[in-house]
């Protein structure tokens, strides 16, 4: 099974400059809006209801999640990018990776 990295961002030096890249962890958190809203805690457990469940673009790491059966992908009308969304199995996987229960989006 795919494991999320612990870091949301990595920094590497390229051509004498420090460049920051997002990791898969930050991308999947962004898909469900965890970069905007935080989970709530009840009886010591974390819960989250996504306010969105979509990512627009083309991304090789998200394609791996599609191949693993955790996300669905739909091409847009021009074919230049895709729309990625987590299915129920993907939300359960993400919740397990982040230590919380993730409900379906509102």
pLDDT band at 105 (very low <50, low <70, confident <90, very high): confident
Scan for tokens 């965890």, then name that residue.
34
**Mind listing the pLDDT tens digit for each residue in 36-73?**
899 999 999 999 999 999 999 999 999 999 999 999 99
Scan for tokens 């997002």, then name that residue.
22
Scan for tokens 């809203």, then name that residue.
37
The residues that bridge with 71 in the sheet, in sequence order, are 86
Q: For residues 56 and 81, give the distance between their C-alpha atoms in angstroms, rounded to a whole number.
A: 7
pLDDT at 1 over 90: no
**Mind listing the pLDDT tens digit for each residue in 67-98?**
999 999 998 877 778 999 999 999 999 999 99
Q: What string of DSSP letters covers 32-68?
A: TTTTTS--EEETTEEEE--S---EEE--HHHHHHHHT
């Amino acid at each position: 099974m795919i494991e999320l990295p612990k870091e949301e961002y990595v920094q590497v030096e390229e051509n004498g400059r420090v460049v920051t890249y997002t990791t898969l962890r930050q991308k999947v958190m962004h898909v469900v809006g965890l970069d905007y809203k935080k989970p709530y805690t009840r009886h010591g457990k974390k819960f989250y209801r996504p306010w969105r469940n979509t990512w627009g673009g083309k991304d090789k790491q998200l394609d791996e999640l599609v191949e693993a059966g955790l996300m669905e992908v739909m091409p847009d009308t021009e074919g230049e990018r895709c729309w990625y969304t987590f299915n129920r199995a993907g939300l359960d996987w993400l919740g397990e990776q982040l230590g919380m229960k993730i409900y379906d989006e509102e």
